[in-house]
Homo-oligomer: A and B are copies of this chain.
Amino acid sequence: MSEIKDKFYNYIQKLQNAITERLELADGSATFKEDVWLRPEGGGGKSRVIENGRVFEKGGVNISAVHGELPQSMQSYFGVEEANFYACGLSLVIHPLSPMVPTVHANWRYFEMYNKDGKIVDQWFGGGQDLTPYYLFEEDARHFHEVCKRGCDNHHPEFYSKYKEKCDEYFWNSHRDEARGVGGLFFDYCKATDKMSMQDWYNFVTEIGDSFLEAYLPIVDKRKDMDYNDEQRTWQEIRRGRYVEFNLVHDKGTLFGLKTNGRIESILMSLPPHVQWKYNHKPDEESPEAQLLEVLKHPKRWA
């Protein structure tokens, strides 16, 4: 139906290979296990999960391509009537073992909708990537955002500031009145306009996808061998609780998957391996933990 759809699906297949290979090298011990699954209504996916690594405690780098009739819950979400759709994307979440290494999330996706004759009536890209540190190293946040900005600036001078802001808005844990992490990029409904063709959007999204390893791996390399103690690990597990709260209470993608019969284990691979909830936990004033919270309460400019 559309060349861009096949091109993008090929792209995410290769990107999944590239990312899992490089993360395995960075870990040096654990490897990704692959699960292939089929969606009864059409399409399926390939989930790759790493667990109990030397560097990565748990992570998933998943691709999927699904199609068929638009589920009813999705019809009302998009404000359309009965339609056929195609959606493919790569989704990843990596939870490192050490509290000194930040968690990272990324997703790049493409969507098509068809009328009864099978003609495309709508199509768009979406995605982004964001960083969730447990201890704030400002140079890491700056590095991540600078890579994001470079990728954006090649396509439009306003993309970075626009999508950085959208990221801060989207990953806002409203019931805690704080950000999930230090942000990155978030974009959605990227549709053809006078100035940006679908091919232009393809070029943009794939450049961002290509920059992911460059954005994240140098941070992993810099932090993975740092010492940490039990209290710092506990702080990481408490903060991971906020990650769970965001994903289960606010994240549209997760809720959408849970309520439309998605593959549960692929959706919930995003949840961290070990998590704690303590009642009313508050870090000491001016501690490194309190410094992180300060930045989460008041998102900063990083690039």
Contacts and interface: CB of A to CB of B under 8 A. Distances in A.
Given A35-B280, A175-B264, A277-B273, A249 B244 contact: no
A265 B280 contact: yes
Interface in A51-82: 51, 58, 60
Given A248-B249, A249-B255, A258-B175, A275 B275 contact: yes
Interface in A228-283: 237, 241, 244-245, 248-249, 255, 258-259, 264-265, 268-269, 271-280
A251 to B, nearest CB: 11
B277 A268 contact: yes
Instruction: Give this chain's copy count.
Output: 2
A255 B248 CA distance: 11
A271 B241 contact: yes
Nearest to A265: B280
B279 A276 contact: no
Contact of A265 (B60, B248, B272, B279): B279
A278 B33 CA distance: 13
Nearest to A250: B258
B249 A258 contact: yes
Contacts of A35: 280
Contacts of A205: none
Nearest to A248: B248
Nearest to A260: B175
Given A51-B278, A248-B249, A249-B248, A176 B273 contact: no
A296 to B, nearest CB: 15
A12 interface: no
Query: 6 smallest A-B Cβ distances: which pairs?
Result: A248-B248, A271-B277, A175-B258, A265-B280, A275-B275, A49-B279
15 contacts: A35-B280, A51-B279, A58-B278, A175-B258, A175-B264, A241-B275, A244-B275, A245-B268, A249-B255, A265-B279, A269-B279, A273-B277, A274-B275, A275-B275, A275-B277
